[in-house]
Amino acid sequence: MVTVGLALPVAQALWPSIRPTVSPVFLAAVMVAAWFGGLRGGLLATVLASLLMDYFSHRAAARRGGKAGGRGAPLRRPPGPRRRPRDQQPAGNAARRRAEAVLDESRRFLQSTLDSLTTRIAIIDGRGVIVAVNEAWRNFDEPPGVGSDYLSADGRASGDAAEATRAAAAGIRDVLERRRDTFSAEVPEGGGWFAVRATRFESGREVRVVVAHEDVTERRRAEEAKRAAEALRSVARLALAAAHEINNPLATIRGNLDLLGRHVGEELARTRLQPAFDAVERIRAVVARLGNITELRVSDRWPTLPEMLDLQASSSPEAEGSDGPSRAGPSA
């Protein structure tokens, strides 16, 4: 807004020498705004510059029309019948056609600027009706088109995206109703994630809101993968520490069971020592899996209990026999 505001007095000062067009002045302002302000700054400067160029174009057309209409009235007329008022209509029509052509050119310039953006852009009026979209918006999967109610289209979402989409629609409605100047949020859409940004601009009593949908799916996936990797590293460090602390007393238990098995009979070894050996082997298998966790999966076998790690599903398959075959019984 500051850049276009600075360009306005420059255009007015240069108006006598550069009319009928002031496009270079405002195009320079748009370039500077885009350089320093990014997408939103450049887009806002484009809209403001287009409106101001329309203003100058109408001034030029009005002046040309006034001059064309004034040439035939106040000065001397050649002898003959007076000209009828309808004879002056073609000059006024020509001026109007030139003004319409300039306005149409400004609209085409605005549309081509919007179409050059890869972000999906829609411009909505004060009632929430879409009045213009860019090519990226039209190429998306079944988007609401020009003339559609943008807010009602967003409010019809269902499933997991319904709450986030309704919140985004409420935020954009606040921008339309001047309760806030801008709004931004990230919402799920079409199997991905989009950053929705709404910016209001006004021309007289008319309100327009530029809504930009930018695809942030890859960034969201990268962030989720980073969080998952960090959680996996934390769990793996804890599991390794636990495995180390368990292995030390487990080795002592196993060694004493081996020594005890040499001094008892076969019946006592089978009925008393064998269950202890089986328990030791089960603990050893669990400890082996603790050292081979490659992903985090939650167990669903006990739904009434707090979430617990499914150790078998979370560890690599080779963890099962990493320490050799299970012992069948006490040593001789």
Mean pLDDT score across all residues of the chain: 75
Q: Furthest-apart CA pair in the chain: how many Å?
A: 146
Q: Specify the amino acid at residue 6.
A: L
Q: Which residues contact 165 (CB under 8 A, 6 or more apart)?
A: 154, 155, 157, 187, 188, 189
Cβ neighbourhood burial of 159 (10 Å; 0-12, 13-18, 19+): exposed
pLDDT at position 332 is 27
Higher pLDDT, 73 or 119: 119
% of the chain at pLDDT higher than 70: 75
The pTM of the full predicted model, rounded to 2 decimals, is: 0.46
pLDDT at position 166 is 84
pLDDT at position 160 is 64
Q: Which of 21-25, 46-50, 177-181, 272-276 has the lowest mean pLDDT?
A: 21-25
Q: Are 184 and 170 in contact, with CB atoms under 8 Å apart? A: no
Q: Which residues contact 129 (CB under 8 A, 6 or more apart)?
A: 147, 148, 149, 150
Distance CA 118, CA 316 (A): 43
pLDDT at position 20 is 65
> E strands, 81-139, where?
120-125, 130-133
Q: Which of 58-62, 102-106, 163-167, 202-206 has the lowest mean pLDDT?
A: 58-62
Distance CA 267, CA 281 (A): 21
Mean pLDDT of 207-213: 88
% of the chain at pLDDT higher than 90: 0
The answer on pLDDT for 194 being more than 80 is yes
Q: Are 34 and 49 in contact, with CB atoms under 8 Å apart? A: no
Mean pLDDT of 212-241: 84
Q: Which residues contact 315 (CB under 8 A, 6 or more apart)?
A: 289, 290, 292, 293, 294
Distance CA 205, CA 173 (A): 17
Distance CA 2, CA 20 (A): 24
Q: Are 166 and 154 in contact, with CB atoms under 8 Å apart? A: yes
Q: Which of 65-74, 82-91, 97-106, 129-138 has the lowest mean pLDDT?
A: 65-74
The answer on pLDDT for 325 being more than 50 is no
Cβ neighbourhood burial of 85 (10 Å; 0-12, 13-18, 19+): exposed
pLDDT at position 81 is 53
Distance CA 125, CA 130 (A): 7
Distance CA 30, CA 25 (A): 9
The answer on pLDDT for 207 being more than 80 is yes
Q: Give CA separation, 267 vs 104, 274, 301, 326, 328, in Å.
A: 102, 10, 37, 21, 15
Distance CA 247, CA 239 (A): 12
pLDDT at position 320 is 52
Take residue 268 and report the two structure tokens written for it: 């006592």
CA 163-207-149 angle, to 5 degrees, is 45
User: What are the DSSP calls for 148-206, one per residue?
Assistant: SBHHHHHHT--GGGHHHHHHHHHHHHHHHTTS-SEEEEEEEETTEEEEEEEEEEEETTE
